[in-house]
């Protein structure tokens, strides 16, 4: 298949005796935005580094644009790292110009939001604008594959929506986009999600597919502080949601037992879990096994 | 006990970092301050902690020894072990001997850091390092706990841990004020404050914020007025402040929609 832009086939990477990525297969096609989620240490960064050709696979196979991720193919790739990869001591225009020349692309015009910063050193520009500069630099050569690490971390909701408009525009012109994120609202912007835990790909699909039938327990009670303390002391993964209490990954009968032993009246109701709660469950299962 | 910052204005040179901001933090609850880079979150937190003088307004906070503060920096010493970091801070508050040993063991256990007790802070993962900072801020059972972006850049599982620890502090009576860039976290707080360029865009419980939202948001592929539209996944959302949509399907807005709509209303009003 020539139209798969990025593909990992049964990829494994070991560092000494530690298996960072364990038999992962995934792909990104033109026009789609794929979200890669996982706890710290889940293997996301190692997988990305293999996909980009920055480190070798221990076994398995990586294809970028139909072949090994070599220098020639990497020219057709755009990458925005979490640290943005900009030069703080160069101006906004110098950064964009440098990047465009490195890729042999025409220097892009600065959008109106950045025009006022053209001659300002990048390190003196607000974070939201820095993110826009990093995007502009990564997109000047119209990459066919775009890899973004936490693309909207730290910016306000309006700036985040603007960055996502740019990302979506890239997908609409045919690029394949791979986004790693810790931010659940960002995950919801993706077409498809991949969930990694302990080096393995443990779930794939839409948000609904990943959550599946897993539930959290909502605890309603007049005495939230005591209920919270009792459940917390019993080791339940408990969270406050306003004045309500949610428990991920718990047996309702067990919770009811803890509450009644503490003399607290409460009603328990299963509710659909969130992606974060699903991840918590998966990581607890991995730790237990 | 309710702590507060009232009508607070803070200027740094010609920059208005806080503009007439009032926020109350009652004991026993978590108040979340949400906003992007430069919104004024850190200045608000530091003002309540007494670290930034106000140009105008008042602060009501407990004395320093009853205050716990986790700064946006790691908040621990890289070259000390987890135990040494906790003991050093506890010592400042006069905690020692069996009392300290018991308190330290309890906090390490609650944060799943017990196996890392002997590790240097420099060797911890981002999530573990934040949890250590949290422990150091809370070791002396403060009446007011101020947390500056405890969860930014932290993986979702550690974030749930941190949120549980903040909830725990509130459940035992502390007033907790935390900043975050994650709106889903703010939704979970008893009271949320959205800051935008130093001003309060909206505040209240999530239910109050939703109930008080005026206008209508529609889902559309082709917005009628581009300056009132934003991206949500494959579609766009458009805000109609006067609830007079000319096109599109009305959606039930979430906090993300509400914050963007109010930000647009403010920007478009400023411009016109």
Q: How large is the angle between the packed helices B82-92 and B126-138, nearest 10 degrees? A: 20
Least confident stretch, A240-254, B33-47, B105-119: A240-254
Stretch B70-82: mean pLDDT: 92
CA-closest candidate to residue B140, choices B75, B93, B83: B93
The continuous run of DSSP H or E covering A276 comes out as helix A275-288
Q: How large is the angle between the packed helices A92-102 and A127-139, nearest 10 degrees? A: 20
Residue in B closest to A150 by C-alpha:
B153
Stretch A136-160: mean pLDDT: 89
Confidence (pLDDT) at A288: 66
* C-beta atoms of B168 and A154 within 8 A: no
Instruction: Give yes or no for residue B34 having a pLDDT over 90.
Output: yes
* C-beta atoms of B171 and A280 within 8 A: no
* C-beta atoms of B184 and A185 within 8 A: yes
Shortest distance, CA B195 to any CA of chain A (angstroms): 10
Instruction: Give yes or no for residue A285 having a pLDDT over 90.
Output: no
CA-closest candidate to residue A264, choices A288, A240, A234, A229: A229
Residue A241 backbone dihedrals phi, psi, to 5 degrees: -130, 95
pLDDT tier at B17, thresholds 50, 70, 90: very high
Residues of B in contact with A262 (CB under 8 A): none
* C-beta atoms of A185 and B256 within 8 A: yes
Residues of B in contact with A44 (CB under 8 A): none
* C-beta atoms of A240 and B30 within 8 A: yes
Residue B182 contacts A, CB cutoff 8 Å: yes
Shortest distance, CA A8 to any CA of chain B (angstroms): 24
Establish how many alpha carbons lie within 13 A of residue B175's alpha carbon, considering only the half-sphere containing its beta carbon: 19
* C-beta atoms of A168 and B234 within 8 A: yes
Cβ distance A206 to A260 under 8 Å?
Answer: no
Confidence (pLDDT) at A83: 82
Confidence (pLDDT) at A23: 96
Shortest distance, CA A31 to any CA of chain B (angstroms): 11
Interface test with A, best of B155, B229, B265 (most A CBs within 10 A): B155
Stretch A124-139: mean pLDDT: 89
Residue B158 contacts A, CB cutoff 8 Å: yes
Cβ distance A223 to A64 under 8 Å?
Answer: no
Residue A63 CA to residue A27 CA, distance in Å, equals 9
Residue in B closest to A180 by C-alpha:
B155
Residue B133 backbone dihedrals phi, psi, to 5 degrees: -60, -40
Residue in B closest to A31 by C-alpha:
B234
0.90 exceeded by pTM:
no
**Residues of B numbered 52-111 whose beta carbons fall under 8 angstroms of chain A's beta carbons: which are they?**
110
> What pLDDT digit, counting tens, does each position of A171-226 carry?
999 999 999 988 887 888 899 999 998 899 988 998 888 888 888 898 888 778 88
Stretch A160-164: mean pLDDT: 89
The beta strands (E) that lie in chain B are given as 2-12, 15-26, 29-34, 56-60, 67-70, 144-147, 175-180, 191-196, 199-204, 216-220, 229-232, 235-240, 249-251
* C-beta atoms of B126 and A40 within 8 A: yes
Instruction: Give yes or no for residue B270 having a pLDDT over 70.
Output: no
DSSP sequence for A77-133: EEEE-TTTT--TTSBHHHHHHHHHHHTT-PPPPPPHHHHTTTTSBGGGS-HHHHHHH
Establish how many alpha carbons lie within 13 A of residue B89's alpha carbon, considering only the half-sphere containing its beta carbon: 27
Residue A274 CA to residue B129 CA, distance in Å, equals 25
Query: Who's near B153: CB < 8 A, 6+ residues apart?
Result: A82, A150, A153, A182, B126
């Amino acid at each position: 298949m020539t139209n798969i832009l990025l593909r990992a086939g049964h990829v494994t990477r070991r560092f000494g005796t530690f298996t960072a990525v364990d038999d992962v297969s995934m792909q990104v096609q033109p026009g789609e935005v794929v979200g890669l989620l996982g706890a710290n240490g889940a293997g996301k960064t190692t997988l990305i580094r293999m996909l980009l050709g920055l480190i070798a696979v221990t076994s398995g196979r990586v294809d970028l644009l139909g072949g090994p991720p070599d220098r020639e193919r990497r020219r057709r790739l755009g990458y925005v790292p979490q640290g943005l990869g900009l030069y703080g001591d160069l101006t906004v225009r110098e950064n964009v110009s440098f990047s465009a020349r490195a890729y042999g692309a025409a220097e892009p015009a600065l959008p109106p939001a950045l025009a006022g910063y053209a001659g300002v050193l990048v390190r003196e520009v607000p974070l939201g604008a820095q993110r826009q500069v990093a995007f502009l630099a990564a997109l000047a050569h119209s990459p066919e594959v775009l890899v973004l690490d936490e693309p909207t971390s730290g910016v306000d909701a309006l700036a985040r929506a603007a960055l996502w408009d740019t990302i979506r525009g890239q997908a609409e012109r045919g690029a394949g986009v791979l986004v790693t994120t810790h931010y659940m609202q960002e995950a919801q912007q993706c077409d498809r999600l991949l969930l990694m835990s302990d080096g393995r790909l443990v779930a794939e699909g839409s948000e609904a597919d990943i959550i599946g039938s897993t539930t959290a327990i909502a605890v309603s009670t007049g005495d939230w502080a005591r209920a919270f303390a009792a459940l917390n002391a019993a080791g339940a993964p408990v969270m406050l949601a306003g004045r309500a209490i949610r428990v991920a990954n718990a047996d309702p009968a067990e919770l009811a037992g803890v509450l009644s032993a503490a003399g607290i009246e409460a009603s328990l109701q299963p509710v659909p879990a969130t992606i974060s709660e699903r991840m918590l469950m998966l990581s607890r299962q991995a730790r237990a096994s | 006990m309710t702590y507060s910052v009232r009508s607070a204005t803070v200027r740094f040179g010609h920059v208005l970092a806080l503009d007439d901001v009032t926020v109350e933090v009652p004991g026993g609850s978590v108040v979340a301050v949400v906003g992007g880079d430069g919104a004024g979150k850190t200045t608000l937190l530091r003002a309540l902690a007494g670290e930034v003088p106000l140009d105008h307004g008042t602060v009501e906070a407990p004395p320093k020894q009853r205050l716990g503060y986790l700064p946006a920096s790691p908040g621990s010493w890289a070259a000390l072990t987890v135990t040494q970091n906790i003991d050093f801070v506890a010592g400042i508050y006069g905690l020692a001997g069996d009392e300290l040993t018991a308190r330290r063991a309890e906090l390490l256990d609650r944060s799943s850091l017990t196996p890392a007790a002997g590790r240097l802070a420099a060797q911890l993962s981002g999530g573990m390092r934040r949890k250590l900072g949290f422990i150091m801020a809370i070791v002396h059972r403060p009446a007011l706990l101020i947390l500056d972006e405890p969860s930014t850049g932290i993986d979702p599982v550690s974030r749930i841990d941190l949120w549980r620890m903040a909830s725990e502090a509130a459940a035992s009576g502390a007033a907790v004020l935390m900043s975050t860039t994650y709106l889903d976290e703010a939704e979970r707080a008893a009271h949320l404050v959205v800051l935008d360029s130093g001003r309060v865009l909206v505040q209240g419980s999530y239910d109050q914020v939703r109930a008080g939202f005026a206008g209508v948001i529609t889902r559309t592929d082709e917005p009628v007025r581009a300056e009132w539209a934003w991206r949500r996944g494959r579609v766009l959302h458009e805000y109609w402040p006067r609830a007079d949509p000319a096109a599109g399907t009305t959606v039930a807005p979430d906090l993300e929609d509400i914050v963007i709509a109010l930000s647009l209303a403010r920007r478009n009003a400023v411009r016109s």
